[in-house]
Amino acid sequence: MRFLSTADPSTLPAAAPWLTIVGIGEDGLAGLSDAAKATIAKAEIVFGGARHLELASPAIAGDRRGWLSPFERSVEAVLAVRNRPVVVLASGDPYFFGVGVTLSRAIPRAEMTVLPAPSSFSLAASRMGWALQDTVCLSLHGRPVDLIRPHLHPGARILALTSDSDGPKALARLVSEVGFGRSALTVLEALGGPRERVRTQRADGAALDGIDMLNVCAVEVVADAEARILPFTAGLDDGLFEHDGQITKREVRALTLSALAPRRGELLWDIGAGSGSIGIEWMLADPSLRAAAIEAVPERAARIARNAGWFGVPGLTVVEGVAPAALAGLPEPDAVFIGGGGSEDGVFEAAVAALKPGGRLVANAVTTEMEAVLLSAHSRLGGSLTRIDVARAAPVGQMTGWRPAMPVTQWSWTKPAKA
């Protein structure tokens, strides 16, 4: 989301607090402190969704303004009345997947007072009797349901905020399709208000019609024998990926991810992505990580997108095109992996030039042509060279022997920081 340059917190002069964000629950004014109710009553302008404005209606004396679409317009509307007494009504805790996070990108924190209420996650955990710190909390509100996939492990407890009344049904369907149908699915509706309802059923047999638009799903994960469980380690089984043979094999992939050394918030370019396995595992390492998979073959590009959804990282950017031209306009990477096409004219040079100072570049070679590129890079730039040889046991007649895979030459290099 982009905001007007005048809304950049770093460019705004210091000001006294003029904006109060008030968290409100389904119990309306009854759940608010006296301070929160007094602040709403004194506000010249009160922003919020239609439901929130209705809940707080008896206390509102000023101008009521509903949210606009797209939401960027609402942020601009709040900024337009800067330094007047303004209240923004938010669901529960404004800083837990809430509007407070969005507003803080445009308004300095020193100009805001925040009065939170219990979040829907806190209310759901209290109804379930779950320790919130040991529970996975996901917002699927306006986000793909695929995001739950990496968290489906036996014994896990998951709280998922959905978008609407159809959300629980979509969640139950996904959980059942990937082998977790015996999981207990509890739908908690309109928590904290007079319409509150809590129902628990098996995911694969849940009757999920007539669900309130406001709901949180609690999943107690139970795995079937063939459940699709995504281990936390790098080097996932090749069979979990859809591929046509163009995939960095699991042992080499694990070593490659180790060399790429992902760090919080970083962006990876996966050039010649094949099945997308490197970019996918990069993103699985931490929710803050991003990746762009560059692939010239249209069928493979489509396959990468499918794999990204299946692994619960639908935010993976797929760039269909031939490097280096396809790299133009992409955000500057913190790390680059070259798995295919690295010996083509200009690809290697473009990757080195684009990489941020202090960033890591890892390239794998199975052909003599690409190996020559890496040997030359090592002589010019330094870094480290590693030869990776993997052999797997396979039948030899009625006996067993070692069948070697193609050896891989790996070059790893860190770009010097600028002086």
Report how far Cα 11 is from the mean position of its chain's Cα atoms. Answer: 29
Residue 2 has pLDDT above 60, yes or no: no
What's the confidence (pLDDT) of residue 10?
A: 42
Per-residue model confidence as pLDDT tens digits over 139-197: 999 999 999 999 999 999 999 999 999 999 999 999 999 999 999 999 999 999 999 99
Per-residue model confidence as pLDDT tens digits over 92-140: 999 999 999 999 999 999 999 999 999 999 999 999 999 999 999 999 9
Please list, in sequence order, all residues whose beta carbon lies within 8 angstroms of the beta carbon of residue 93, skipping any fewer than 6 positions away. Answer: 23, 116, 117, 118, 119, 122
What's the confidence (pLDDT) of residue 418?
A: 77
Measure the CA–CA gap between 286 and 267, rounded to whole angstroms. Answer: 12
What's the confidence (pLDDT) of residue 343?
A: 82
Please list, in sequence order, all residues whose beta carbon lies within 8 angstroms of the beta carbon of residue 104, skipping any fewer than 6 positions away. Answer: 9, 95, 112
Per-residue model confidence as pLDDT tens digits over 255-284: 999 999 999 999 999 999 999 999 999 999
What's the confidence (pLDDT) of residue 15?
A: 66
Strand (E) or helix (H) holding 65 = strand 63-66
Decide: 21 and 112 in contact? Cβ < 8 Å. Answer: yes
Measure the CA–CA gap between 293 and 274, rounded to whole angstroms. Answer: 9
Crossing angle of the two packed helices 277-284 and 250-260, in degrees rounded to 10: 60
Tokens encoding 201: 């059923």
What's the confidence (pLDDT) of residue 267?
A: 98
Sheet holding 197-202, edge to edge: 136-139, 157-161, 215-220, 184-189, 197-202
Per-residue model confidence as pLDDT tens digits over 46-77: 999 999 999 999 999 999 999 999 999 999 99
Please list, in sequence order, all residues whose beta carbon lies within 8 angstroms of the beta carbon of residue 48, skipping any fewer than 6 positions away. Answer: 56, 64, 66, 67, 88, 89, 90
What's the confidence (pLDDT) of residue 112?
A: 96
What's the confidence (pLDDT) of residue 3?
A: 37
Per-residue model confidence as pLDDT tens digits over 37-48: 999 999 999 999
What's the confidence (pLDDT) of residue 206?
A: 84
Residue 199 has pLDDT above 50, yes or no: yes
User: Nearest-5° angle of CA 338, CA 344, CA 350?
Assistant: 60
What's the confidence (pLDDT) of residue 7?
A: 46
Measure the CA–CA gap between 371 and 97, rounded to whole angstroms. Answer: 47
Per-residue model confidence as pLDDT tens digits over 286-330: 999 999 999 999 999 999 999 999 999 999 999 999 999 999 999
Residue 13 has pLDDT above 80, yes or no: no
Measure the CA–CA gap between 298 and 418, rounded to whole angstroms. Answer: 38
What's the confidence (pLDDT) of residue 16?
A: 84
Measure the CA–CA gap between 23 and 117, rounded to whole angstroms. Answer: 5
Decide: 87 and 77 in contact? Cβ < 8 Å. Answer: no
Q: What pLDDT band is residue 1 in, cutting at 50, 70 and 90?
A: very low
Measure the CA–CA gap between 341 and 347, rounded to whole angstroms. Answer: 7
What's the confidence (pLDDT) of residue 417?
A: 87
Mean pLDDT for 218-229 is 97
Residue 237's Cβ-count burial label (10 Å; 0-12, 13-18, 19+) is exposed
What's the confidence (pLDDT) of residue 6?
A: 41
**pTM value surpassing 0.85:** yes
Per-residue model confidence as pLDDT tens digits over 331-385: 999 999 998 788 888 999 999 999 999 999 999 999 999 999 999 999 999 999 9
Residue 4 has pLDDT above 60, yes or no: no
What's the confidence (pLDDT) of residue 8?
A: 52
